[in-house]
Amino acid sequence: MKIRTEVNINSEKQSNKLENLGRLLVKCPDKPGIVSVLSTFLHNQHANIVESSQYSSDPENGTFFIRIEFHCENLLEKATQIEKDFEGIADQHSMDFQFTYANERQRSAIFVSKEPHCLVELLWEWQNGDLDTDIVVVISNHEEARDMVEALGIPFHYIPANKDIRKQVEAEQIRLMEEYNVDLLILARYMQILTPDFVSRFENRIINIHHSFLPAFIGAGPYERAYDRGVKLIGATSHYVTNDLDEGPIIEQDVERVDHRDHVIDLKKIGRQIERRVLVKAVKWHLENRIIVENNKTIVFH
């Protein structure tokens, strides 16, 4: 699968656009003047704000969140100094903050079991220049996806898994995450449960796709249960993984209409389309640092 002519053009354009693009995420107690402080700081660094989104849980004594996207000449060279300069402001206003740089691409790992549709969609978007990440490794408890992954030059690791050997499986997975220096884990229909120890190593950095409209049909067999209940819409949910199964912060959801003629096999087919687009959206937003997690919910700055 080598449809890369246009891709390369896209990537070049993309990287020009991303060069010197920075993002600042801030969380702090809400009070008058914060936007002024931040925008003045950036202006003094000769940075131009190109996008800014904010949210306050309550203008009086609530928590304030802001995501600023800015452009700045020679950004990477100045980054260390900018971050250092910012520390005083952060202290003064009790800010949690994070600077990220668009052309320091995040490194992603994809975990997949037997059903390949979410993996295929992610790879396709990535080839197309639409996923701003390096996919550095694919891990599966089945061999089926190997050829497709390796054909794209991505390392594929087969790690058979079941609940009895969970500990040793995760040890190997963690070793690979370290070896490949992974920032983001994408569970693209990976049907194994992760232990609290594993999850805690990647807080708010594991994105799962659950094949139901959560909180309906938590756990196994959601399409079967949707069929039994006779729902008229089925859905999919992308969320960060926490230690409560399918209870993590929801990033995105979508649904499609079904009717009485749709058996479980039809729900699965229709559902695959939903899962594909819902997972890809969540991953894109994460890679663009658009998501803040607060109180097991997400603030997504579109």
Binding to a second copy (CB under 8 A) within 72-111 occurs at: none
Structure tokens given for 202 = 């990647």
Rule CB under 8 A: say whether 25 interacts with a second copy: no
Instruction: Give the DSSP per-residue string, 208-228.
Output: EEESS-TTTT-SS-HHHHHHH
CA-closest candidate to residue 122, choices 159, 152, 158: 152
Helical segments of 250-291, H only: 264-287
Q: Are 96 and 27 in contact (CB under 8 A)?
A: yes
Cα(279)–Cα(250) distance, rounded to whole angstroms? Answer: 11
Cβ of residue 181: shortest distance to a second copy, in angstroms? Answer: 28
- Cα(222)–Cα(224) distance, rounded to whole angstroms? 5
Stretch binding a second copy (CB under 8 A), from 33-41, 87-95, 97-105, 193-201? 33-41
The residue among 198 and 227 lying less far from a second copy, judged by its C-beta, is 227
Given 28, 47, 110, 287, the residue binding a second copy (CB under 8 A): 47
130 classed as catalytic: no
Residue 52 CB, nearest approach to a second copy (Å): 6
Q: How far is the CB of 214 from a second copy (least distance, A)?
A: 7
31 binds a second copy (CB under 8 A): yes
**CB contact at 8 A, 238 and 249:** no
Using CB under 8 A, which of 136, 255, 267, 283 touches a second copy?
255
Mask 153-192, x = binds a second copy (CB under 8 A)?
Answer: ----------------------------------------
Q: Which stretch binds a second copy (CB under 8 A): 40-48, 167-175, 183-191, 196-204?
A: 40-48
Residue from 106, 108, 140, 298 that binds a second copy (CB under 8 A)?
298
Distinct helix (H) and strand (E) counts, the chain = 9, 13
For the chain, what's the residue count?
Answer: 302
- Enumerate residues 50-69 that contact a second copy by CB under 8 A: 50-56, 59
The three-class DSSP label of residue 203 is: coil
| Smallest separation (angstroms) from a second copy to the CB of 104 | 20
Q: How far is the CB of 77 from a second copy (least distance, A)?
A: 18
Classified as helix, coil or strand, 245 is coil
Residue among 9, 43, 81, 200 that touches a second copy (CB under 8 A): 43
The C-alpha atoms of residue 105 and residue 225 are separated, in whole angstroms, by 40
Active-site residue list: 246
